[in-house]
Amino acid sequence: MNPLGAPSTPCTPLPRGRSKFYPPRITLFSGCFELLTLLCSLLSPAPARAQEVRYSPRYFGPNANPVLPLTGAIIPAAMTVELAADGYWGFGDRAANAAVAVEVPLAEGVSCKLWGVALERYEVSEAVYRERSMASGSLRGQQTMGDLYAQMRIGLFAEGKYRPAVVFNATLKTASSVTVRDRRYFDTPGYAFDLELGKSARLAAGGALTEVRLALGFGFLCWETGASVQNDASMYGAKLILSNRLLCLEGALQGYHGWMRNGDSPLVCTAKLALRPFAVQPFVAYQYGLHDFPFHHLQLGVALRLPRRSFRTSAPPAG
């Protein structure tokens, strides 16, 4: 799933009463990250026909190596479960799939997020089949299981009067798909490290627009391409969030730039509308690939917020 490769976290009010600096969670983070690293290595078979495969989003399906979601430097205080249906079309490749994402807060300013794609059905044109050098023997097919993403999120600094919130993300992609022959998934492991910065401007309550938030992201992405060769890419993105008590509207421009120049530099723009005030929050999003991502993408889904957990060590400020 996309970055929409995976459903992104819907607009979440920034928790009040949080300390301005999050102390390091070295033991918690290192233990979880080592476990995720071991899982990634166990699920990473050696790719077949590596020299004939161009491991890039330009020559694979839309869920192979999508741009990672930019959340706005917000770590939710409540467990969030997202269920979504995705549709892709245009440029000789049509696909539909289900997607699931779960984010669990572990401590104040720390969470673990898992997401992935299931039940993808697709159909490609003969031109796309030849261009991708597919070896499945059919223009249509389905994949029961796609790649699984696991992410540790750590809040380094809470938002202050003049200082943006800063969140560090460490992401692992496992090679949990079945085969690379149909060019839907790489079936190779990958990882990413990135920082998110977010700052809000709060306006008068009760108006048509009560909050404006700007978020920036940048980082490093790496994935295996076979024959012990890996592609390294720089990640970048910006997001603008406009919200009030009822609605949240997001616009984002994101991408990454690989060094192989074989279709490995996708750039996408995304618009998303979410309904805020309920425990079950419906959302709709549209994404268009500007470069090296030849798809239109429509996503419909709901986000379920479970009862809030509190990690406060001190009372919130008065007022």
Q: What is the DSSP string of 217-276?
A: EEEEEEEE-STT-EEEEEEEEEEEEEE-SSEEEEEEEEEEEESS-SS---EEEEEEEEE-
Structure confidence by residue, pLDDT tens digits, 176-195: 777 788 999 988 899 999 99
Reported as type and span, the H/E element at residue 194 is: strand 190-202
Q: What is the mean pLDDT of residues 260-276?
A: 95
Reported confidence tier of residue 88, pLDDT bands at 50, 70, 90: very high
Give the residue-averaged pLDDT of 270-294: 94
Instruction: Extract the tokens encoding 16.
Output: 């009040």
Of 17-31, 32-46, 106-120, 298-312, the range with the highest mean pLDDT is 106-120
Contact 228, 52 (CB under 8 A): no
- Written as one letter, the residue type at 79 is M
The residue among 242, 271, 230, 232 whose CA lies nearest residue 254 is 271
Sketch out the chain's domains with CATH numbers: 2-305 (2.40.160.40)
Q: How far is Cα 170 from Cα 191, in angstroms, rounded to an integer?
A: 8
| pLDDT recorded at residue 226 | 74
Specify the higher pLDDT residue, 59 or 49. Answer: 59
Q: Is 50 exceeded by the pLDDT of residue 116? A: yes
Are 100 and 119 in contact, with CB atoms under 8 Å apart? no
| Residues 6 or more apart in contact with residue 130 via CB below 8 angstroms | none
Higher pLDDT, 277 or 43: 277
pLDDT tens profile 123-132: 999 999 999 9
Least confident of 13-22, 30-39, 162-171: 13-22
47 pLDDT tier (thresholds 50, 70, 90): very low
Per cent of the chain over pLDDT 90 is: 64
pLDDT in tens, 215-244: 999 999 999 987 678 999 999 999 999 999
Query: Is the confidence at residue 16, as pLDDT, over 50?
Result: no
Per-chain mean pLDDT for the chain: 84
Give 34's pLDDT tier (boundaries 50, 70, 90): low
